[in-house]
Amino acid sequence: MTFIKTSSILLFLVVLSTFSAVSAAERETPIVKAVARVRQAVVNIRTEQIVRRNNTPFGFGDSFFEQFFRDMLPPASMTNQSLGSGVIIDPAGYVLTNAHVVAKASRIFVALPDRNDEIEAELIGVDERLDLAVLQIKEKGEWPYITPARSDDLMLGETVIAIGNPLGLGHSITTGIISSVARRIELENGVSSVFIQSDALINPGNSGGPLININGELIGINTAIARQAQGIGFSIPSDIAKRVLNELIEHGQVRPLYLGIVSGDVGDSFVPRDGMRGVVIVDFLDDSPVQKAGLRVADVIQAVNGVAVAGINELNAQLATYPPDSTMTLQILRGLKKIDYEVKLVLLSDEYLMAYTRRTFGFEYEVDRGGLLVTSVKKISPAAQAGIEPGDRVVEIARRKVGNPDNFRRLMAALIGREPLSFLVVRDKRGYLLQLPQD
């Protein structure tokens, strides 16, 4: 009797162990395999920012007492820290992440999943408009990496996985399905961007980490900058990241390009049946890329490489995702006929900016760190009508600081074609807010 009971127990244990082995194999789903494939390349990013402040004995903020003691006491410094995620995309240690994760960082450190220490990294390139940045790990070695894959073949309803390493202690993993492959989102300052939208949640600490498909392929970079993200996640498509990677690595930024158009809004009565509003070409400068490509005044640009554009902001946002000497396909509406045009993109030159400003607003300038110093004004022009004079200084355009020459080029790359624009003009230490051209 005891032998029978013992045999039964042994048989039960054998069956149970066999069932457990099969069950473990069955639990290794495509998602588990995909995460295992990429997890070593997902890093934690910690930044330090040195903030200078003045010590005062009062806690009144920007009060009279605060101002009185500000120059009397030595300044103190404090270190702010922020955390985010990133993904290694090259064995040489290049890390792709969000620009806002490393914004204003004095020092940057990365932590890999199976290491107990942090490694210092160097900021190689950054583009705030695209919210992308490239770092490089300073320590030499062959690093685990994921090569960015294509994102133009994504499908609605496709399963995706968002991975982060927010605390350096382990991975944060969420799954979801794609609900839009090209969601246009309006961000701050009139800037718009195109994102992959899914219901894979992206917390702030996961920002900069990879979005992968069930094959473990890198299809996007997760971002937490879109305020609309409530219960949903947005990711920068990998196709955009791939296009600008060399620019970020070789030049430290995505250099601004231009099409050379003066645009207008498509009126409600002229919106085509398909609802694609687009950008109407009112005029363009000689020898501009669109003129060379064969576009005409009154053509309506409806899409860029199949991505619909509703206005000049979205057109400029698409333009910002391409490097110099590349081509983009513009889908235009000419009358009732739809035509595709290949446009070769070129750098936004200082000569073009001067010609555009002279023609559109009616003044010439010199650029320094204080903004635009107006050097001459055409007699019959919007600038003359508004009262601008030589010696005036333009410090803001469209409520954004002009800054140095590089910043001015990036600013104008986003504003070219938009009319009217607001100009903050300073004369004799007084500011005047003007609109050019005036309505």
Q: What is the CATH number of the domain that holds 90?
A: 2.40.10.10
State whether 54 and 98 are in the same domain. Answer: yes
The CA angle 138-203-190, to the nearest 5 degrees, is 90
Final residue belonging to a domain, choices 107, 137, 167: 137
For residues 307 and 290, state if they share a domain: yes
* Residue 386: inside a domain: yes
Q: Would residue 196 count as lying in a domain?
A: yes
- Four-point Cα dihedral 29, 32, 33, 37, nearest 10: 170
Same domain as 133, residue 99: yes
Residues spanned by the domain of 198: 159-251
CA nearest neighbour of 261 among 372, 206, 341, 154:
341
Lowest mean pLDDT: which of 33-47, 92-106, 191-205, 319-333? Answer: 191-205
Helix axis angle, 350-360 relative to 405-415, nearest 10°? 60
pLDDT at 241 over 90: yes
Return the pLDDT at 243: 94
Check pLDDT > 60 for residue 13: no
Residue 86 lies in a domain: yes
Q: How confident is the model at residue 277 (pLDDT cuts 50, 70, 90)?
A: confident
Show which of 312, 347, 382 is a domain's final residue: 347
Q: Which of 109-118, 154-163, 182-191 has the lowest mean pLDDT?
A: 182-191
Lowest-pLDDT range of 223-237, 286-300, 323-337, 415-429: 223-237
pLDDT at 232: 82
The answer to whether residues 56 and 105 belong to one domain is yes
Over residues 99-111, mean pLDDT:
93
Looking at mean pLDDT, say which of 39-53, 95-109, 179-193, 278-292 comes out highest: 95-109
Provide φ and ψ at 4, rounded to 5°: -65, -45
| Chosen domain end from 104, 137, 170 | 137
The pLDDT of residue 109 is 96
- Residues annotated as catalytic (active site), given as ranges: 100, 131, 207
* 246 within domain boundaries: yes
d(CA 239, CA 216): 16
Residue 323, in any domain of the structure = yes
User: Considering the domain boundaries, does residue 412 fall inside one?
Assistant: yes
Residue 99's pLDDT band (boundaries 50, 70, 90)? very high
Same domain, 247 and 174: yes
37: number of CA atoms within 13 Å, CB side? 18
CA 367 to CA 410: how far, in whole Å? 13
370 pLDDT more than 60: yes
Reported confidence tier of residue 75, pLDDT bands at 50, 70, 90: low
Answer yes or no: do 360 and 432 share one domain.
yes
Q: Are residues 25 and 61 in the same domain?
A: no
The top-scoring range by mean pLDDT among 49-58, 98-107, 284-293, 417-426 is 98-107
pLDDT over 60 (residue 139): yes
The answer on pLDDT for 373 being more than 90 is: yes
Claim to verify: residue 176 and residue 262 sit in the same structural domain: no
Domain tally, the chain: 5
Q: Sorting pLDDT into bands at 50, 70 and 90, what band is 390?
A: very high
Q: Exposed, middle or buried: residue 227 (CB in 10 Å: 0-12, 13-18, 19+)?
A: exposed
Q: Phi and psi (nearest 5°) for 139?
A: -70, 130
Give me the chain's average pLDDT, please: 84
Report which of residues 81 and 90 the model is more confident about: 90
Q: What is the largest CA-CA distance in the chain?
A: 115
Residue 215 lies in a domain: yes
Same domain, 25 and 54: no
Q: Which residue has the tokens 């030499």?
A: 140
pLDDT at 377 > cutoff 70: yes
Cα–Cα distance for residue pair 31/34, rounded to 1 Å: 5
What confidence score (pLDDT) does residue 269 get? 47
144 in a structural domain:
no
